[in-house]
Chains A and B, each alone.
Chain A
Amino acid sequence: MSLDAAAIHERLQAKFGQKLSHFEAAAKQPFAVVAADAIADVAAFLKADPELAFDNLMCLSAVDYPKEMPPRMEMVYHLLSYRHAHQFVLKVHLPREEPRLPSVEASWGVANWHEREAFDLFGIVFEGHSDLRRILLPDDWQGHPLRKDWQDPDFYNGMHVKPTAQMAERAAGGEAIGIGPFAFTPPNKHVG
């Protein structure tokens, strides 16, 4: 039996009253904000409860909001129930420095890789994750690139990260780069 977002939020509130801080009913896809330490229990409840039965985690995203008041990172959980054909969205607000929250891997196995990706690209640490290590970037990469305050490093393992920028600087400084038809021309502002 398919429930709408308000009904789902009611059931959640009945169980986890204080842990839910906000319910945005007016959004196109209504979401509830859950406290970071309760997310694993909320996930387990949402999966196990026979009327909610959220057996599928559609998407697990992390978003960085440095300019909001207060600055935060959000974890967004898009849930789906195949049994009842209803959907819901959970959000968790995290501080931008040292973001940590429990892993929901025990409820949905797919969260393993999604959380590894969030750790890799944002630096969010998932407690209780079985194998938290980088997934997309090289294992020895420093930093978390999808954060809004990310700066590209100059070098990675001895390689220029932005060769055209460095070459443009050197060319501006008078150095001749390239020979004849292969002489280096500074890039225009749309390239590299």
Chain B
Amino acid sequence: MAIETAWTAAELDTDEMVLQMGPQHPSTHGVLRIELRTDGEVVKAARPHIGYLHRCFEKHSENVDYPGVIPYTDRMDYVASMGNSLGYALAVEKLMAIEVSPYVQTIRVIMAELQRIASHCIAVGTYGMDIGAFTPFLHLLRDREKILDLFEWTCGARLLYNYNWIGGLSHDVPDGFVRACRQFLREYEAITHPELMDLLIGNKIFIKRTAGVGVCPVELAINYDLTGPNLRGSGLPRDLRKDEPYSGYENYQFEVPVGKGEYGPVGSCFDRNIVRAHEMAESAKIIHQAMDRLEKLDKSDVREKVPKRVKPAKGEIYARSEAPRGQLGYYVVADGTGVNPYRVKVKSPCFTAMSVFHVLAKGMYLADIIALIGSLDVVLGEIDR
């Protein structure tokens, strides 16, 4: 395979060095190749190269039927699979005008928010590891394990669930799930969250490393379609769960954390991280309320609205949902004939987050490049699909 280099020898100044941060990384964000043109420690230009994990999701989705696309969606953002299948199920349900019962909606919210906590555990934990603090990662992973145990209990899978189906769910929550989930939340809120805020977020060295680094002003963030914690870290309090509620989110009280720039300009790596940390606490609140609601609702069959054959009429829809990494958008085109989608295009939040990287990376130190990628919380499965 011909490897493309960004700059020819003639273009380079003699002081500058072209460094490849190759597809294999010690940090866990995935197979990403970044070409850096550096002048000593300072980065003059950066060019990310993606596509190392391209698995032709959109072509595959044209060759399988609508429910068959769901396992493929799981594998895009493999760290937070519940959100992916939820977004796709919502899109096709909108296309076919299927309304799911409040029971299904509530379970979907519980699973999505548990997944948000688990995903942010990885995001903040690995970010701490990139900065050099190894311990918070393991503490957060301990809690992620508990969440994955809950998921395994419900649907049999720890990472890729195939859970949110078009019109319902694959499995109902088992008996005792609510009790176990409440216990996990108790432990999380009493032990892990205060320790996280103390040990990592409040740590002076962490603040020194992240505040003022990778500042993304709000206009740049909107222009490059940064969404989710990245946009909220830049100060704009936009959250799809509040602005365009889906799946019953309007019934829950929660706040939308926003970056305030306590230690530097708004929109730095620190702001994005503290937004994620606060979001974990807010998700815990939502789960408590959702479980209260679940206990009050009548138990219904989670598969009752799942159509025997998903064959939407001719039409198209673009539906967005608030995944842990940002707004996940599905553009589903149905041609009315056949059981396969005509086109499924995914706008993944990490794709757009990565596209702003080359703008933010100019003038940074080499060590801050890693801090920047980690704070954008990219998962290459979602970028490359």
Q: Does B1 touch A at the CB level, under 8 Å?
A: yes
Q: Establish whether residues B345 and A61, one from each chain, have CB atoms under 8 Å apart when the complex forms.
A: yes
Give A110 to B384 CA distance when docked, in angstroms: 16
Residue in contact with B51 in the complex, picked from A28, A63, A138, A146, CB distance below 8 Å: A138
Is B355 interfacial (CB-CB < 8 Å)?
yes
Q: Is A140 an interface residue (CB 8 A)?
A: yes
Within 8 A of B (CB), among A32-77: 55-59, 61, 63-64, 76
Q: Interface majority SS on B: helix, strand, loop or mixed?
A: mixed
Q: How many residues of B contact A (CB 8 A)?
A: 42
Complex: how many Å from CA A29 to CA B95? Answer: 11
User: For the complex, what is the distance from the CA of A139 to the CA of B54, rounded to whole Å?
Assistant: 13
Question: Chain A contacts of B225 at CB under 8 A?
Answer: 56-58, 108, 110
Q: Does B223 contact A (CB under 8 A)?
A: yes
How far is the CB of A113 from the nearest CB of chain B, in Å?
4
Q: Is the CB of B224 within 8 A of A157?
A: no
**Across the two chains, which residue of chain B brings its CB closest to A147?**
B59
Is A164 engaged at the interface, CB distance under 8 Å to the other chain? no
A64 CA / B351 CA spacing, docked (Å): 22
Contacts of A136 in B (CB 8 A): 50-51, 54, 384-385
Question: What CA separation (Å) do A137 and B55 show in the bound complex?
Answer: 10
Tell me whether B2 and A139 are in contact (CB under 8 A): yes
A133 to B47, CA, bound (A): 13
Partner of B318 from A59, A138, A139 at Cβ < 8 Å: A59
The total of chain A residues at the interface (CB under 8 A) is 34
B222 part of interface (Cβ distance < 8 Å): yes
Q: Are A58 and B329 closer than 8 Å at their CB atoms?
A: yes
Residues of A within 8 A of B317 (CB): 28-29
Are A146 and B58 in contact (CB-based, < 8 A)?
Answer: yes
In the assembled complex, which residues on chain A have CB atoms less than 8 Å from the CB atom of B285? Answer: none
Residues of B within 8 A of A150 (CB): 59
Shortest C-beta distance, A29 to chain B (Å), equals 6
Question: Is A191 positioned at the interface, with any CB of B under 8 Å from its CB?
Answer: no
**CB of A145 within 8 Å of the partner chain:** yes
A77-93 CB contacts (< 8 Å) to partner B? 78, 82, 85, 89
Choose among A56, A109, A146 the residue that contacts B359 (Cβ–Cβ < 8 A).
A109
Instruction: Give Cα A133 to B59, complex, Å.
Output: 20
Interface assignment of B288: CB less than 8 Å from any CB of chain A: no
CB distance from A80 to the nearest CB of B (A): 9
Instruction: With both chains docked as a complex, state the minimum distance between the C-beta of B79 and any C-beta of chain A, in angstroms.
Output: 20
Q: In the complex, what residues of B have CB within 8 A of residue A121's CB?
A: 58
- Chain B proximity mask over A106-150: 1 for CB below 8 Å, otherwise 0: 001110110000000100000000000111111110000110001
B123 within 8 Å of A (CB atoms): no
A76-B220 Cα distance, complex, nearest whole Å: 23
Check A109/B355 contact, CB under 8 A, given A63-B343, A137-B54.
yes
List the A side residues contacting B236 at CB < 8 Å: 82
Say yes or no for A179: interface residue by CB 8 A criterion.
Answer: no
A121 to B51, CA, bound (A): 12
Distance from B92 Cβ to chain A, minimum over Cβ atoms (Å): 13
Check B298 for interface membership: any CB of A closer than 8 A. Answer: no
Other A-B pairs, 7, CB within 8 Å; known A56-B223, A137-B51, A139-B1: A27-B315, A58-B347, A59-B329, A61-B331, A63-B342, A113-B355, A145-B59
